[in-house]
Structure 1
Amino acid sequence: MIQRPQLTVHGFAGIGWSEAGLDNEIGLELDEAACRTRIGAGHSTIRCDVTQYPTWVFKGRTLSKVDSPPCPGFNMSGKKLGLLDLPLVHQAIEDLSRGKDTRAAIGAACRDERSILTAEPMRWHYDLQPEWICMEQVPSVLPVWQQYAETLTRWGYSAVAGILDAADYGLGQTRKRAVLIASKAREAILPAPTHGGLGQPPMVSMAEVLGWGYTQRPAPSVTGGGTYTGGAEPFGNGTRQAMKRAMGTAAWKDRDIPNLRPTVAECAALQGFRPGLQFHGRQGQQYLTVGNAVPVPLAEAVIRAAAGISEPLRAAA
């Protein structure tokens, strides 16, 4: 019998985790523009509704599972209906962890129809029992990830959940995310920062990423008057929001690009994507694909911690 290679099954795939260097990955994604972007970048993709896709297809050959469920319902800048749905989400996760599928009934009771998607990975974990797991979402989802960690620990995993800032791993903007790492093979530990510490490279500034002519990278600081003096970008959480707050600064006005709206390429650079990566769909869809992605340097750090890999992933890709 021919033995098929073990896979990384990537739910709600987008493009961020994939660009970080997942091995033998198959991404499950519903959005057409995101799928076209993934395929164009060379990532194996199945366009589907993750909630309806059968897990048995991957049973017995799944090494790892990665998920970034949609976050708008839990985002602090939105209506926050997902936060009101948290008790229902917790119940769905508990039910799925015991093999009881109550997604339809609980999803119908949620104020935001997307809230139930945060429980979806548990269905896959229960059925596939992968060796290691990574998940990512907005910081307000941390209590959900802690529930996952408690359940996975009962199953024999080592698991940890916490808040990480992508700026600590070389991203040119502040972007905090709730992450979960679980493993059957090694102790689960959140990755240590790679930038800004003693003996480490300095934190990366927005100006440096976008080529605004800054050559110095002092420690991040903001004066009492609110003037940015260098270091990692301090404007807030989210690529497009950060770019908009930079508008009107001298560095922004000195750009060679005539319009005042951040370009897709600029937003992509601030998410850590490689130069020249092509994003498909209408312009608005391209912005969404970029903005919805987990920052690439953060994704790489989390994958390496989960898989026990010491060398950089993207250098080997």
Structure 2
Amino acid sequence: MSHTEKNDSPPAGFRILDLFAGPGGLDVAAAVLGHQVTGIEWDTGACATRREAGMDTFQGDVRQYRAAFFPYAQVLTGGPPCQTFTVAGHGVGRRSLEQVLEYIKRLHEVVRTGEQGWKEIFRTWRGISEELRRKELKAQDVKTRKREVEELRAAKRKALRLRLERLGNSADEIKNLMKSFMDVPRTLDFQDDELEGLLKEFSDLNDEHAELKGRLEELGDERTGLVLQPLWWVIERSRRPRSVPYEAVILEQVPAVLPVWEEYAKVLASLGYRTRTQLMHTEAFGVPQTRRRAVLMARLDRAALLDEVRLRPEDLPPVLETHERYQPKGRPAPRSKATSGEPLPLEPSHASPESPKAPWVPMDAALKRAREIKPELPERPAFTVISNYGTGGIPEARGRRDHDVPSATITGKVSRNRVVLKGTERDLARFLPAEAGVLQTFPVAYPWDGNDISQQIGNAVPPKLALHVLRHVLEPELSDEEARIRLKQATADLETWTPGKPVKPRMHDGLKGHPLTGR
């Protein structure tokens, strides 16, 4: 929790349960707003960071828990891991998306009709869960065989190279031949029985590998079940006898998940929630980084729960942007692509006409502010960040961002990004974890710990974005001016936040005596 004193009385806090909580991006934002958060997270590295940050945590697979275990949680949040969905083509991404949407529609149908009540709803979910479990077990067997085939194929490839060398082929000839073996191995005739035998075995392994890969794509993976978990938790709390619905639901993920959130929203509307899906640009909310997140927001409308009303709740209003969106010089405004499919219409800016937007925040301004709080951070002259990723499909064409603009999206490879003196190729020190965290708007004092810290930072929800969403959904009664003051104070508290006493993560047996469980 933040140790910053507040001069005014904030709105009453909520008890939040955060699924797939990560290192605590949403949690630290909720803490400075005065809410109590408990997270469920399986990654040991993220749990280590959460421990040092004093975040209340259950360590383990979300599927080991149920909504009924936490009856006193008032708000459900989370960012379930998921596949790269796409609305284009007929590839694995498209099939994964169609599968998830079909499961959601099955749940929606039984929730919407509700003729046989909770038993029928639970039976439907159990059927989906069992189906996913069978697929997961089959996928594990296929993965095991696929690894075996890959090892055998590598051995055959090595044997082919050795045989070609013994037959007197040059290095360049061997390189070209090996490439041709991958393309059209059965059309080649070498008049050498040993080589022909190796080639047939290699070709057969290639065919089996392709078949196994196709089977895995059809089976999907465990993330299909994980992306459905938050929806089921909401349904369970809304339809299970003697349960109380969540007051609010907030979910976020990469833009490709927007179609899933839109289907979620239909179900939540049937359960009496006002909803809003929104593709949010992080720099438009004061994050010194260009990043897009697909967000689902829902707030319970109690009037819609009354049988005699039977009204579809009105949609929630959008979260208004407070800062300008970043547009690289010389580039036309891009058309939104929530997926890798066809462009969507231009996204609305969701700006308030009464409140002019502030400029986006550049990297150097965020890092300078961090050094004011933590002077031991390195002084940085004008710099350019060279991405670890290529651009335009060209690996060698590394993306570049200068110090005076927002960072490109912070990913799990942030530690590999080069930082050079602007206008030169002279290397400077790469970003420290504290600096990379600041570009995600984590407090500079955030105690990163455990393994793969770069991945933790890259996967996290930017806390400042979470501030805006949480404030919008949980405090709708505030006027525009009150909301502005509230966000200003919360942003200051977020910057100066310091960790309290470390909190050891709980395991499943830690449910007893927890404030959210009532046990």
* TM-score (normalizing by structure 1): 0.80
CA contact (8 A) 1:190 1:302 kept: no
Residue 247 and residue 62 in structure 1: after superposition, are their counterparts in 2 closer, same or farther (change >3 A)? same
Q: What is the aligned partner in structure 2 of residue 18 from structure 1?
A: 27
What is the deviation of 1:168? 0.5
Aligned-residue sequence identity (percent) comes to 28
Look up the match of 1:164.
Answer: 280
Q: CA deviation at 1:92?
A: 2.4
Distance 1:305 1:231 in 2: 30
Question: Cα distance, 1:26 vs. partner?
Answer: 1.0
Whether contact under 8 Å (1:157, 1:183) holds in the other structure is: yes
Q: Deviations over 1:27-67 (max 9, x none)?
A: 011111111211211111111210121221112x2211001
Matches within 5 A, 1:1-317: 7-14=15-22, 15-22=24-31, 23-59=35-71, 61-71=72-82, 73-74=83-84, 81-97=92-108, 98=111, 99=121, 100-101=124-125, 102-106=128-132, 108=135, 110-128=219-237, 129-185=245-301, 188-196=316-324, 199-211=356-368, 212=380, 232-233=405-406, 235=408, 237-239=409-411, 247-248=419-420, 250=422, 257=429, 260=430, 262-282=431-451, 285-308=452-475, 310=483, 311-312=486-487, 313=490, 315=492
Work out the CA distance in 1 between the residues paired with 2:445 and 2:402.
Answer: 30
Range with greater deviation from structure 2 (226-235 or 176-185) = 226-235
- The whole-number CA distance in structure 2 between the counterparts of 1:252 and 1:159 is 49
Paired letter, 2:232: R
Q: Secondary structure at the match of 1:65?
A: strand
Higher helix share: 2
Distance 1:246 1:256 in 2: 8
8 Å Cα contact 1:205/1:231 also seen in 2: yes
Output the CA distance in 1 between the equivalents of 2:492 and 2:105.
39
Please tell me whether the aligned partners of residues 30 and 49 of structure 1 are also in contact (alpha carbons under 8 angstroms): yes
Residues 272, 6 of structure 1: CA spacing in aligned structure 2 closer, same or farther, 3 A cutoff?
closer
User: What letter matches 1:112 in structure 2?
Assistant: D
Unaligned runs of 5+ in 2: 1-12, 112-120, 136-217, 238-244, 302-313, 325-350, 369-379, 383-398, 477-482, 495-519
CA distance in 1, matches of 2:462, 2:48: 19
Helix, strand or coil: the match of 1:69?
A: coil
Q: Which has the larger radius of gyration?
A: 2
What is the SS of the residue equivalent to 1:173?
A: coil
Deviation at 1:254, TM superposition (A): 7.4
Shift of 1:182: 0.5
| Cα distance change, pair 66–253 in 1 and its aligned pair in 2 (3 A) | farther
- Encode CA deviations 1:229-260: one digit per residue, 9 max, x unaligned: 7764364x444567866644518977863xx4
Give, in whole Å, the separation in 2 of the partners of 1:314 and 1:38. Answer: 20
Query: Alpha carbon RMSD of aligned pairs, Å?
Result: 3.0
SS of the counterpart of 2:445? coil
Q: Secondary structure at the match of 2:74?
A: strand
Q: Which runs of 5+ in 1 are unaligned?
A: 215-225
**Aligned equivalents of 2:424, 2:463: Cα separation in 1:** 24
